[in-house]
Amino acid sequence: MDITDSEILLELFLALETPEGLRAQLLDGDILIELPFDGYHCHLISSLTDQVYGKSAIDMQMSEHKGLRLVTGGHHPPNHVIPHATFVPDDLRLFQGAPPWMEPDGVAMVAEVTSNKPDQDRIAKRHCYARAGIPLYLLIDREKSQVSLFSKPHREEYTEVHLAAFGEPLALLAPFDFELDTKDFL
pLDDT at 65: 83
Mean pLDDT of 155-160: 96
Residues 6+ apart with CB under 8 A from 73: 28, 127, 131, 156
Share of the chain above pLDDT 90, in %: 73
Q: What is the spatial distance between Cα 71 and Cα 48, in angstroms, rounded to a whole number?
A: 27
* Closest listed residue to residue 111, CA positions, set 77, 131, 135, 79: 135
pLDDT at 2: 65
Model confidence at 19, pLDDT cuts 50, 70, 90, reads confident
pLDDT at 6: 84
DSSP β-ladder status, 30-34 and 60-63 = unpaired
* Closest listed residue to residue 123, CA positions, set 141, 105, 108: 141
pLDDT at 68: 96
38-62 per-position pLDDT tens digit: 999 999 999 999 999 999 999 999 9
Which pTM does this prediction carry?
0.89
Share of the chain above pLDDT 70, in %: 99
DSSP β-ladder status, 109-113 and 136-141 = parallel
Per DSSP, the three-state class of 38 is: coil
Q: Is the pLDDT of residue 148 over 70?
A: yes
Specify the DSSP class assigned to residue 120.
I
pLDDT at 158: 98
Mean pLDDT of 129-156: 97
Phi, psi (deg, nearest 5) at residue 60: -125, 155
Q: What is the spatial distance between Cα 88 and Cα 118, in angstroms, rounded to a whole number?
A: 25
76-131 per-position pLDDT tens digit: 888 999 999 999 999 999 999 999 999 999 999 999 999 888 999 999 999 999 99
Contact present, 185 and 167 (Cβ < 8 Å): yes
Q: Is the pLDDT of residue 26 over 60?
A: yes
Contact present, 31 and 25 (Cβ < 8 Å): yes
Contact present, 110 and 134 (Cβ < 8 Å): yes
